[in-house]
Structure 1
């Protein structure tokens, strides 16, 4: 009897899922989607072919340091509101609860650390590449290794960003994801290559406007479809989706209060505090106060968008609390849930589904274009110039940067076809960041806050941090692939799948009787006794939110131990290379020390020809 019932569950529930929602893009949706892509491409053409044409490296990468606070702030928000924010987070909230919302209070700490600890140092030095700081503070080897970590991190992250909107569009239209990805990536590469930072900033502004507008409209429609805010809140409480204040210190849980607060704080500090894509934009405005203001606007924007994404996840749960689309088979992957929800509740409004899918693409395009622009700058400054030496021809430098954007974009597009086989996107994105983000944040923190940190200590410490986090992540992924480690989702139901649906009567009767069965561990224990499972080492069971903090702490501890053990022959550190928050601790000797010079003669000559102020040049001539 049991086997018959289970066979009915596996065959009839998918039929119910297919009967629930059969909707697709209309011609209105396709028009809106194509208009969005066309506008993005036009902005790239405008900045690349008219006006100054982004003819110098400084203008291409930094907007000639004359950008305004508002567009830069919007660009910062847009470039970090990716498909992960719009697709992966709501799906994660639906399945595992709203703990991710705790990033909102964490952003207060993150923005304060950025404004008072890291930003003053970068603004004082006016570096094109943040990794230039590491060369001034330590040596060229540290700079090259940091640039390697940054580039590796983007190659791990960008394919995820590109994959998500392509998956959403494929879910909405039925088109093959392998055809969608190259087209959309081509548009992003095109306008980023032609227009440089100005095109990135203004397309980000356009795309963020579309994204937030679509997000707002869909949120309103979702609330109505779920029965109102009160109904959403009550169902979330009943379904255990609002249990976010779990103060259990156990690091092996998925998302307790401490895990999310600590994990997201360190992860986002590595983005907002020292990441090239952010610092590059902070420094594109004229003054330090304006840079600080962009950080504040950036944090507030992220708080609002993240809260909306969390609420959409709760709205989806309220909508499907009694008819889980995963159980019915209507949705196969976590990241298909939101497109399914949009097509379900908004398909009756012409063009709205297309607008929202376009908004998801906008978020991905803005993130991808920002990262393509800054990785081109990093490769140019830290690798190309090491080979070619200083490039005096501005047009030649700009052409090299555009070529780098094309190469990186094509490689990331190819990597998308690997990402689609790696499982849930939010855990994957946060996990992979631990390989590079933790060690990078550790390197900058050692340089900015620890005057006694040495070149060897920081280099070896960051290598140890990278290898340690890679070991944990690889072993964890292995155990997950073997089915030994499994994230247990919060409870769902399919008992209400047939309410107000058009499922045929015979199917309705059969499924109603089947869904009265309780699916639990007790049900399985009637047939067989579950064998004792192997328990991996505790480091392989910690929450994926902890990977970046662990790598960060290992880098700091190892870096300091090696620095004190091996000693140092480094020159004294100038106070400009240290954060203002520790200036009161410095000895009088630091007041008189000159900034440590570059070890590379070619780099020093490059700085003389490109960055020295006019009065310094006059002194040299005399």
Structure 2
């Protein structure tokens, strides 16, 4: 804890009374909020029912890709809603409140990621027109690499889903006082109910509804917060006084290059090769439309980020001399946004309910898509080979539903682990980096390095997974024993005008962190970059030492940036790759005829 925080709790002549119940009782949902919150959930479910039972999708292409006839703007907003909303709406303002606005540098990463994706990854996937991104790895390498990628994806989802479930539960607990472990089973139950109903069209239009409601609510809350904070000028003055602006120190957890490099790779792993994102881009009829969607995505993502960052600064000004965590009004730092929303907009009937509903529904959307996708991946790549060839569609359906339930139960149980690991933003970025780094490395190895082979991809990804997992587990051990800590910006309780019991604090010896090896003090923003870099380095070295007589790679499997430099346009294949490529060429000819 900083000196400013400690001194604020030892004001001469000030005593700490015992109860904060009088404060918390004022900041809860009203019946207006419950009504509008419930309406938001009902509308989301109705959209799924509409596309699932009334406007039915008759083919796999309709269900998974919207008939490849979607429009750029809805796709872009769906991407923003699924990748920015939920965790980000809750975690970014809290992170800015505690650590300052260094996170704003991630807006640069959004632009860089979109440019790289538009010219490196997206042209390859759009040209191949495949339903699953993992089909690419089988075509480029072999079936074993596809299975490895599916395992990494499974690991990624299982690490990510508990955070997705935890976010809306945390928000609801703050405004309703319902225990978080009663909320999480309900969240999964709702998702299991409608997770397979409406297909991609339902997902996209539900995301659109949720995005419009949540961004509208946060802008309204932002406006009301600006008024209560005395205007934008006062916000910036107070933020500067509280050291919330950019800091040039490169040893910080979120300095300029840490975020520009680290967050760019993290974002690229989601936007460039993630199945959920690529599937939405492939729902657009042309590559030009996909690039337009990327451009709209940049605008939407940056808008949401800036809004969340401003909200974090306004929260700091709002609680400049009376920090909600230190004063006992909230029990976790990540609960500050729901508390602030109820505090600032509680007088507007229904507005807090709509805002919390936006967070809840955005998380539901991500959760339902992930459950469905992961269940299909586990069945196709791990279970189907052990099933009888004459297995019925009905039995397959039962297996998939059982997988969805099993994944949901595991995710709910892992919430108990997540809630003890600290702030949401570091948890989310660290978890995703463990699996997304090697996964991004495999795809990049295939798309940008023509001489890379399956042995190199396998050894590179496994090496990266082992090293980044060791790094992650060791860092969490050090954090649990207070050997690694992130010092937040100064806050105080000097101007609180109510009775409260101060939050307990733990005195930490700042010299303890110096005893930890520098490797384990690397910012969590770098995890995806480290994993991808190890995969590329080891993969290329192993490929160079295991070269066989395999012919050059098919040009369609490489990025246009690399394709132009291929020395030989003639293609011949080993038996394994030839079977896959013959099917691809045949389907390609049918599509163009």
**TM-score past 0.5 threshold:** yes
Aligned partner of 1:612 among 569, 587, 591? 587
> How do 1:123-202 residues align onto structure 2 when only pairs under 5 Å count?
123-202=126-205
Partner Cα separation in structure 2 for residue 479 and residue 110 of structure 1: 32
**Secondary structure of the structure 2 residue equivalent to 1:164:** helix
Partner Cα separation in structure 2 for residue 611 and residue 170 of structure 1: 55
Comparing 427-436 and 41-50, the one that deviates more: 41-50
Deviations 1:234-262 (A, max 9, x none): 11111110124x1x444xx2111111111
Comparing 9-18 and 148-157, the one that deviates more: 9-18
Classify 1:330/1:449 alpha carbon distance in 2 versus 1 (closer, same or farther; 3 Å).
Answer: same
Aligned partner of 2:556 among 573, 576, 587? 576
Partner Cα separation in structure 1 for residue 403 and residue 63 of structure 2: 13
Aligned partner of 1:593 among 571, 575, 578? 571
Partner Cα separation in structure 2 for residue 544 and residue 558 of structure 1: 22
> How do 1:14-413 residues align onto structure 2 when only pairs under 5 Å count?
15=19, 19=23, 22-52=26-56, 54-244=57-247, 246=248, 248-250=249-251, 253-388=252-387, 404-413=403-412
- Maintained 8 Å contact 2:124/2:558: yes
Classify 1:342/1:21 alpha carbon distance in 2 versus 1 (closer, same or farther; 3 Å).
Answer: farther
- Maintained 8 Å contact 2:110/2:302: yes
Partner Cα separation in structure 2 for residue 547 and residue 267 of structure 1: 8
RMSD: 3.3
- Maintained 8 Å contact 1:272/1:278: yes
How far 1:82 moved relative to its partner?
A: 3.2
Partner Cα separation in structure 1 for residue 269 and residue 15 of structure 2: 47
User: How many aligned positions are there?
Assistant: 585
What TM-score, normalized by structure 1, do the two folds share?
0.86
> How do 1:542-557 residues align onto structure 2 when only pairs under 5 Å count?
542-557=522-537
How far 1:63 moved relative to its partner?
A: 2.1
Classify 1:412/1:11 alpha carbon distance in 2 versus 1 (closer, same or farther; 3 Å).
Answer: farther
Structure 1 partner of 2:452: 453
**Secondary structure of the structure 2 residue equivalent to 1:194:** coil
Deviations 1:8-65 (A, max 9, x none): 999717746954873211000110111111111122222222232x454433322232
Deviations 1:78-135 (A, max 9, x none): 1112332111111110001111111111111100000000001111111111111111
Structure 1 partner of 2:3: none
Partner Cα separation in structure 1 for residue 492 and residue 11 of structure 2: 18
Structure 2 partner of 1:517: none
Partner Cα separation in structure 2 for residue 112 and residue 530 of structure 1: 41
Partner Cα separation in structure 1 for residue 397 and residue 592 of structure 2: 25
Deviations 1:329-369 (A, max 9, x none): 21221210101111111111111111111111122122223
- Maintained 8 Å contact 2:550/2:574: no
Comparing 384-393 and 471-480, the one that deviates more: 384-393
Partner Cα separation in structure 2 for residue 96 and residue 548 of structure 1: 22
Partner Cα separation in structure 2 for residue 289 and residue 334 of structure 1: 43
- Maintained 8 Å contact 2:129/2:282: yes
**Secondary structure of the structure 2 residue equivalent to 1:331:** coil
Unpaired segments ≥5 residues, structure 1 = 515-519
- Maintained 8 Å contact 2:85/2:211: no
- Maintained 8 Å contact 1:434/1:547: yes
Deviations 1:468-507 (A, max 9, x none): 1111111111111111111101111211212xxxx37xx8
How far 1:548 moved relative to its partner?
A: 1.3
**Secondary structure of the structure 2 residue equivalent to 1:592:** coil
How far 1:167 moved relative to its partner?
A: 0.8
Partner Cα separation in structure 2 for residue 207 and residue 611 of structure 1: 41
Partner Cα separation in structure 1 for residue 340 and residue 356 of structure 2: 12
- Maintained 8 Å contact 1:236/1:242: yes
Partner Cα separation in structure 1 for residue 235 and residue 116 of structure 2: 35
> How do 1:471-490 residues align onto structure 2 when only pairs under 5 Å count?
471-490=470-489
Partner Cα separation in structure 2 for residue 212 and residue 115 of structure 1: 26
Greater Rg by CA: 1
Structure 2 partner of 1:541: 521
Comparing 564-573 and 261-270, the one that deviates more: 564-573
- Maintained 8 Å contact 2:551/2:571: no
Classify 1:612/1:576 alpha carbon distance in 2 versus 1 (closer, same or farther; 3 Å).
Answer: closer
Unpaired segments ≥5 residues, structure 2 = 1-5
What TM-score, normalized by structure 2, do the two folds share?
0.90
Partner Cα separation in structure 2 for residue 125 and residue 77 of structure 1: 25
Partner Cα separation in structure 2 for residue 569 and residue 335 of structure 1: 56
Partner Cα separation in structure 1 for residue 162 and residue 403 of structure 2: 17
> How do 1:424-439 residues align onto structure 2 when only pairs under 5 Å count?
424-439=423-438
How far 1:375 moved relative to its partner?
A: 2.7
How far 1:616 moved relative to its partner?
A: 8.9
How far 1:402 moved relative to its partner?
A: 5.9
- Maintained 8 Å contact 1:44/1:190: no
- Maintained 8 Å contact 2:48/2:197: yes
How far 1:612 moved relative to its partner?
A: 3.0
